[in-house]
Amino acid sequence: MAIPRRRHQFRRRMIPVVSVISAALLLLFGFLSFLTPSPTGVDHLRRTMMDDEIGDGNRTTSEFSIPITDAVVAARILNATLIVPKLDKKSFWKDDSNFSDIFNVDWFISYLAKDVKIIKELPRRRRVQNPYTMRVPRKCNERCYINRLLPVLVKKHAVQLTKFDYRLSNRLDVDLQKLRCRVNYHALKFTDPILAMGAKLVQRMRMRSKHYVALHLRFEPDMLAFSGCYYGGGDKERKELGKIRRRWKTLHISDPERGRRQGKCPLTPEEVGLVLRALGYDRDTHIYVASGEVYGGEETLAPLKALFPNFYSKDTIARKEELQTFSQYSSRMAALDFIVCDESDVFVTNNNGNMAKILAGRRRYFGHKPTIRPNAKKLYRLFLNRNNMTWEEFASKVRVYQRGFMGEPKVRPGRGVFHENPSSCICEDSEAKKIVDPIPKHKKGTDVAVEDQNPDDEPEWSEPEDEDDQMNLVDKFPRNATFSDYDTAPEEPELEEFLSD
């Protein structure tokens, strides 16, 4: 199945952005000679072939996991055969990597063999040149797939699903949620060359310091333009970012001040540095920074480097020739950053995007390593008044405001997106696993949170829907479908944003 292509086709070098990849899923109806029990309780021929074309615009490699994972689950729901995803090579960045260049395809197929049949390509006799194209509604649940998609498959024999971003409900039966975890945390493995280079980078960080912090810094020009935020750069900033923003014709006129008040703007490099210092990380802390093109360049990064002079990236700890195999491919470079961030003692982000959520879920699943996300809504007001208080007052308030944003393991089941809080896959006794405290012990204060409260006022960075998504779904529902097929019960808003880290 598919990976979504974001409507924003600007891509940055490193952990390329966001949660928006547009994917095409090819479902081929082929009559096979055997019957297979349907996981959904609907008996039908195992006759569906599924092929993904994953558009990779502005997205992190880690975020490929969401649509790929959901594609496998959708194939299970439909009792379908899944074709190994094909990455879109027509996107703005023009990364011509194949699935097998990033992920271990043989492992992917074999690990999931008991769950879903997966093949590398369609047999020639079953290929269809122009399959029927349709789009599944967002957050489509099991019943939705059976009611909406299955009849079309039976009639058309081949169906191509477009824009497969968040087209599967956040809430599914436990068995399907556990399948999501098997895919995301076990079946999807990077290729051996990526794993080997990633391990080298981690080792080199460990050689410099036993412990290190990884910072995923989203401060690229296109990301800031999309957010509509303003950072005090005067007419020059407004003109430069405004020009980029006009490329997205569906975006409304922004109110930068309102965006900051609502916590929808990422922290600046200096601000995230001040937060870390307030939380107790001193200038001896070693920081690995995964970032794209930072708006303002070295001038913008200078305050962060002054706060943390032990500042590293893959380009500074690896030789140019070592990265040569990867440097021409943004997705593979992003995979290296993902490995180093995942292996860090503490992962920090200056935004509340998908990368933070995906890594937070992964780190919870594998025994818990903390992920620090900014409480941008409250920190904004604090930064406005920073010059009117002592450092001790500022640091104390930061620790208070960051309660619930420190990635502690206790999160109420069902809160947030599943990839952030995979509670269905974590044993009840998982709290017995070793818990790493994100606050340095010598700096810990009594006002630091012990539990992830995941407050209701946590901001989400929503992406405007495509015009096609703003359709009247009632007119497009099949006659046997109901609104209950579309998971319309109240739930936490999905993070369908331009960035994710």
Could you read off the pLDDT of 7-55 as tens digits, one per residue?
A: 343 344 333 333 333 344 554 433 232 223 334 333 333 444 454 454 4
pLDDT for 116 equals 95
**Pairwise pLDDT comparison (3 vs 286), residue with the higher score:** 286
Rounded mean pLDDT of 93-104?
Answer: 84
Q: Which domains does the chain have, with CATH numbers?
A: 23-190+461-486 (no CATH), 193-219+259-443 (3.40.50.11350)
**Residue 426: exposure state from Cβ atoms within 10 A (0-12, 13-18, ≥19):** buried
- Find the mean pLDDT for residues 368-382: 90
Q: Torsion angle of alpha carbons 322, 328, 329, 333, nearest 10°? A: 40
Which has more confidence, 457 or 164?
Answer: 164
pLDDT band of residue 437 (cuts 50, 70, 90) is low
pLDDT in tens, 198-256: 999 999 999 999 999 999 999 999 889 888 888 889 999 989 998 888 888 777 777 87
In the chain, what's the furthest Cα-to-Cα distance? 76
Which of 431 and 358 is assigned the larger pLDDT?
358
3-state SS record for 394-457? HHHHHHHHCCCCCCCCCCCCCCCCCCCCCHHHCCHHHHHCCCCCCCCHHHCCCCCCCCCCCCCC
List phi, psi (to 5°) of 488: -85, 0
Q: Are the beta carbons of 201 and 336 closer than 8 angstroms?
A: yes
- Mean pLDDT of all residues in 471-490: 41
Residue 406 confidence (pLDDT) above 50: yes
pLDDT at 455 over 70: no
Where helices occur in 308-418 by DSSP H, the ranges are: 314-317, 320-327, 330-343, 354-365, 376-384, 391-401
Asked if residue 459 lies in contact with residue 376, where contact means CB atoms within 8 angstroms, the answer is: yes
The pLDDT-based confidence of 292 (bands split at 50, 70, 90) is: confident
Query: Please, are residues 372 and 401 in contact by the beta-carbon 8 Å criterion?
Result: no
Distance CA 228, CA 469 (A): 22
Determine contact, residues 188/69, Cβ cutoff 8 Å: yes
Listed residue (373, 207, 366) closest to 276, CA to CA:
373
The answer, yes or no, to whether residue 447 has pLDDT greater than 90, is no
User: Side chain identity at 73, as an amino acid letter?
Assistant: V
Q: Are 165 and 22 in contact (CB under 8 A)?
A: yes
Q: How confident is the model at residue 416 (pLDDT cuts 50, 70, 90)?
A: low
pLDDT confidence bin for 461, thresholds 50/70/90: very low
Instruction: Return the closest-CA partner of residue 55 out of 100, 103, 18.
Output: 18
